Structure formats: structure tokens, C-alpha cells
Amino acid sequence: MVLVTNKEVLDAANDGGYAVGAFNINNMEITQAIISTASEMNAPVILAASQGAIEYAGIEYIEALAKTAAAITDVPVTLHLDHGTDFNVILQCIRHGFTSVMIDGSKLPFEDNLALTKKVVDVAHPCGLSVEAELGRLVGVEDQISVTEKEAVFTDPDEAVQFVEETDVDSLAIAIGSAHGIYKGEPKLDFERLEKIDKKVDIPLVLHGASGIPEDSIIRAVKLGINKINIDTELRLAFRDAVRKVVTESDVYDPRKICGPARDAIKEVVRYKIGIFGSENKA
Ligand code: 13P
């Protein structure tokens, strides 16, 4: 298959009451782990590439990895820019086959976030890409973006309505208590707020910072209207732990014997997440 848009897979998830996993890719092994697991589980999947991933791998490699991944599987696959903050990177993504972009203006005042998001929608929609925006601000560090606890703000339901109406975005990332990176304590999601936003906003809602959120909270969030769930940190940890085990417990030096077990470890994380997101057999 060819890459499809986030709008296509997320509108179906919104109708069907499940969430699609958005897993961050940085290299071939991570991409392979995500695609082979999604294929085995017959699940739609979002390959998320951050600006940092694009800098690390090169946009041509990211494009080729995602297009190859989509070509060798029957499940719907999308290529999505995660946390785009640079308009030039958005334009590059449009030229390089991305099917969806996130514009993250969450650090800006409401009116400026709205204007920037509108500007991205105006260039992305005519080119056939879907657009995700963020309203509210998540604590933590995701690649090049860092937000302190003081700067974090939960999403206001009425502002969300106005924002979606005026920008025409296809999905909205909301801040309800999740955080990027590793949690210090037990994460507590504001389900009441999620319910209010979901009642007022028709488009698919997105949960960032989902690594480390307990299974019951994820299942409840999906029930209350979350349709896209972002996972990065748990993939990184699985990769790191598997590599560390191999290099400390043996003297192998073949990269395939180092990265192969990491790929297997990531597959296990993706399998578990797709299971609790409810997207198995939704391809
Ligand atoms: P985690 O750091 O919790 O994996 O969140 C990833 C994310 O939200 C990417 O946008």
C-alpha cells in the first residue's frame, strides 16, 4: 500500500471508539519493529518522525523507510511529523512524502498558536496532508522541546472549540496531565476534562506523553475519546535495555547481534500498546 493520511486512520478510530498508536521512528530497526508488529496484529499505525529524528537520520532516509514500510504491508501506515515547530521543516515534509504534520504552537499565546496553526493548515491541506495541533502545554522533554512544571497548562474545553473551528485542524493534542519522558510519580489524567473536551469537539483527540501511563488509565482515556496515542520513551528504554544486555553479557561486535535484540524488544512494547489501544484488527 501507499502511505495514507492521519485523517483517514483517525476518523475511522473516532467512529470506531479506539486509538491508533503513533510510534516514534529514528532508524531502520525501530521502523521494522513497528511495521512487522502492526502487520501481525492487522492494525493501522502512525510512524512519527520528530524534527530531531529528521536531523539525525536525514529526511530522505525517513521518507524511504516509511514508504518502504507501507509498500510491504497491507495495513494502513502514515508518515507524520511529530512536534513540528519550524515552518520550513513543515514545507520540507510536504515535499518529502509525509502524509501528516503536527504544528506545535503550544508554547505560544492562544492567538499566536491559532494563527500559526491556520498558516500550516493553509499549506498542508491543499497538498493532501492532514494537520495535528496542540492546545495546552505538556510538561517534560520531547526531543528539542522542553516544558517545566510551571509552564504546563491543561487544555480549556471552550478554547478547544474555538481553536478547532477557526483553524480547521484534523486532530487536536490536548493537555490533561500526561508528560513527555519518564514519570517521576504516578501520572494522573484529568478524565473529567477529557470528557468535556470530547463532548464539545468532534475531531479525533490526541494523547502525547503516553509512555508510563498505567494500562487502566489508557483504556479509560480511549473510552472517553482519545484516538491517537504517542509512544516514544518506552521504545527508547526497550532499545537501550536490550543493547545494554547484549553488550554487557557478551563480547559480540556484530551490529546485527546488537540491534536485532533491540528490534525484538521494541516489537514487544508495540504489541502490548496496540492491544490496549484497541486497534488490533482495525486495519
Ligand atoms: P513519551 O515520552 O511519553 O513516549 O511521549 C512521546 C510523545 O508524546 C511524542 O510526541
We report the CATH number of the domain holding residue 124 as: 3.20.20.70
Helical segments of 83-214, H only: 87-95, 110-124, 157-167, 191-200
Asked whether the predicted pLDDT for residue 189 surpasses 80, the reply is: yes
Residue 166 · residue 158 · CB < 8 Å:
no
1 C-alpha to center of ligand 1: Å? 27
Residue among 47, 104, 53, 40 nearest 79 (CA): 47
Position 147 pLDDT exceeds 90: no
The 10s digit of each residue's pLDDT in 204-261 is 999 999 999 999 999 999 999 999 999 999 999 999 999 999 999 999 999 999 999 9
Q: Kindly give the distance from the C-alpha atom of residue 141 to the centroid of ligand 1, in angstroms, as a whole number.
A: 9
Please state, in angstroms and rounded to a whole number, the distance separating the CA atoms of residues 6 and 46: 7
Residue 16 belongs to a domain: yes
- Pocket lining for ligand 1, CB < 6 angstroms: 24, 82-83, 142, 180-181, 208-211, 230-234
Residues 118-127 have pLDDT tens digits of: 999 999 999 9
Domain that holds residue 110: 6-277
**Active-site annotation holder among 11, 15, 74, 82:** 82
Grid coordinates standing for 220? 479509560
Give me ligand 1 centre to Cα 23, in Å.
8
Q: How many domains does the chain have?
A: 1
Q: Is residue 283 part of a domain?
A: no
Q: Is residue 272 part of a domain?
A: yes
Query: Could you tell me if residue 282 is inside a domain?
Result: no
Interacting residues of 211 by C-beta distance below 8 A, sequence separation 6+: 181, 182, 231, 232, 233, 234, 237
